[in-house]
Structure formats: C-alpha cells, structure tokens
Structure 1
Amino acid sequence: MKKIGIGVDYSNICKDYNTVYLDRDNTDRETKVCMKKTMEWVALFLSELTQEFNYKIYRLNNDSILDISEIARKRFLFYSLEKEMLLQNFILQKTYTSYTSLAHWGESDEDSLMIKNDDEGEGIYFYVSKDSKLHLWILQKLQDFSLETLAFTEK
C-alpha cells in the first residue's frame, strides 16, 4: 500500500499562540502553556490510537517497547535555538518488525504508523498506508484541524 503523511501544525492545538516561536528553552508563561497543552494533546491522541489499534511504540530498528512519554515530550516535539533539533521517528504497530531504513518501512504492507518530528519544531507528522482503516481514523479524529498531506519520500 502507498504510504502518505498527515502533518499536524501545533497551531491547531494552541490557537491563540504563534507556534513559530515554540522554543523548548523559552520560559515565558505563554510558551510554557502552549508546550504543555501540545504535549498533553499528543499523549491523549496517541493513547487513544494505541488503544484503538492495539499498537505498541518502537524505534525503527529496536524491539524495546517505548512509552508514549518518549514522544509527548519537549525534546521530540519542539525546536531549540541553543541545541540541535534531533530528527527522530517512531513506529507504532501491533508486534515488532525490524526495518533497515525508513524506505524499508515505506515499502512494507505492515499495518503500522510512523511518527516523525519537524525540523523546525512546528508540528508532527503521521505516516500511514493511504486509505487504510488507520488513515481514515486519524482523518476523522482530526477533522477539525487543518492538516497537511505529504508524500512519503524516504529513499
């Protein structure tokens, strides 16, 4: 199945804050409130998703099961002017499958989801098989958000 990405900009979560300025090292009240709200939203969304599809969270080539808190945290979700943004991805699936690369994951027919962070720290990306039950579930859950549709281009 063809993989497709769904981009969620944090402005969908923090409607009254310019999310371009979400720097995880900022300590002003508005930034902290927006980051907390975003982390709570990500945790709740992933909790519902993992329960609905009976998924566990893994790294691309590691069979250790991770907690949602590995994703719903500042270091993964937000940019830092003082530190490098570490681009990461996580695979959510029922049982562990080893992938040698993101391209290998993209070629698989495995019922799974890949989550990727944004290099600018402005959003989060969910990659799924196009028109799958998971894809349609995400679109329905996020129907009130303005979403970006992305091609899966990992080679």
Structure 2
Amino acid sequence: MSIKTIGLGLDYSNICKDYNTVYLDRDNDDPETTACMKKVLKWFDAFLSELLENFEYNIYRLNQDSPIDLSEIVKKRFFFYSLEKEIIAQTFILQKDAVSYGSLGDWAKNSEDSLVIQNDEEGEGVYFYFKENSKIHEWLVSRLSDCSLDEIPFQEV
C-alpha cells in the first residue's frame, strides 16, 4: 500500500494578522501593504531556512536536478499577485538528493523524503505537499501549530 500524499495550505493572514491579505498586490506601494509583504518574506525566509537546515534539503525546480538558492523562492513574484502582471504558478521541490521529475504525479510516486511548495494562484498563501505521517509532515504541523492550516487535496497536475 502506498503512502498518501497530502497538502496543507498556509494563508498569509497567519503572518499579517492585522491586514486583509486578500489585497496583497506586489505592485502596490501603500505603506501597510509593503510592510505586510516584507513581514511575509522575512517570515518565510526564516521558516524555510530552518526547514532546509533541519532536513538537510536543497531546493530544486520540479524538472531540474540543479539546486537553486532560497532567494529564488523568497521573492515577491513567487508569493504575491500583481494586478498588472498576474502571478505565475510555481512549484519547488525541497529534498536531499538531486532528482528531477516530469510531473507532480512522478514526484508523488517516486519521492520518499521531500516536500513540494507551491504558490497560490490568488497570491493569498502557499501550499505544502508531502507524504502523510512523514517526518516533514510532523515537523510542519508542530512548527505551524499556532497557524490555521487548510487541508489541501493533492492534484497530480
């Protein structure tokens, strides 16, 4: 029996508690919007740094086996929508070994100890996908215990 791949969604309202995060437009230079986006970027930089260190992961694009730097993820264009430019859906794999996958379905079938991070097409949060009851699952639930998390069904596309 294969282990189920599941997902958790983390909304930016968990980080910017006093701001309506539905309106985070990366081109908006309103001081409150800018402050919230900076807070989100700083939070994710620290959170993902801790995750990478704890699990000895590197970051990869789905179909590439060359590691990329954390700074490739922690950018406005990954996290936030733009009314002018919209948002490009992006998927990154956090894992120890350099393995590329043809699709998310390939990743789900062939990965053991790894994590997918995807941006939300509305720019309101991110999704994490992993094997149910894995060490990364336990770590995420523990580390994000003070956040409201949404269960997200895994889709292989």
Category of TM-score, reference length = shorter chain: over 0.9
Which residue number in structure 2 is paired with residue 27 of structure 1?
29
For 1:43 and 1:64, how far apart are their aligned partners in 2? 20
Which residue number in structure 2 is paired with residue 41 of structure 1?
43
Counterpart contact for 1:106–1:152, Cα < 8 Å:
no
Q: Deviations over 1:80-113 (max 9, x none)?
A: 0000210000000001112111111111242100
Q: How many angstroms does 1:153 deviate by?
A: 1.6
Which residue number in structure 1 is paired with residue 96 of structure 2?
94
Which residue number in structure 2 is paired with residue 57 of structure 1?
59
Which residue number in structure 1 is paired with residue 76 of structure 2?
74
Q: Which runs of 5+ in 1 are unaligned?
A: none
Report how many aligned residue pairs link the two structures: 155
Q: Which runs of 5+ in 2 are unaligned?
A: none
SS at match of 1:137: helix
**Structure 2 letter corresponding to 1:26:** N
For 1:38 and 1:99, how far apart are their aligned partners in 2? 29
TM-score, length of structure 1 as denominator length: 0.97
Counterpart contact for 1:7–1:150, Cα < 8 Å:
yes
SS at match of 1:64: coil
For 1:62 and 1:109, how far apart are their aligned partners in 2? 14
TM-score, length of structure 2 as denominator length: 0.96
Q: Kindly report structure 1 stretches of 4+ aligned residues shifted beyond 3 Å.
A: none
> Percent identity of the aligned residues?
60
Which residue number in structure 2 is paired with residue 138 of structure 1?
140
SS at match of 1:80: coil
Which residue number in structure 2 is paired with residue 112 of structure 1?
114
For 1:41 and 1:109, how far apart are their aligned partners in 2? 27
Which residue number in structure 2 is paired with residue 10 of structure 1?
12
**Structure 2 letter corresponding to 1:71:** I
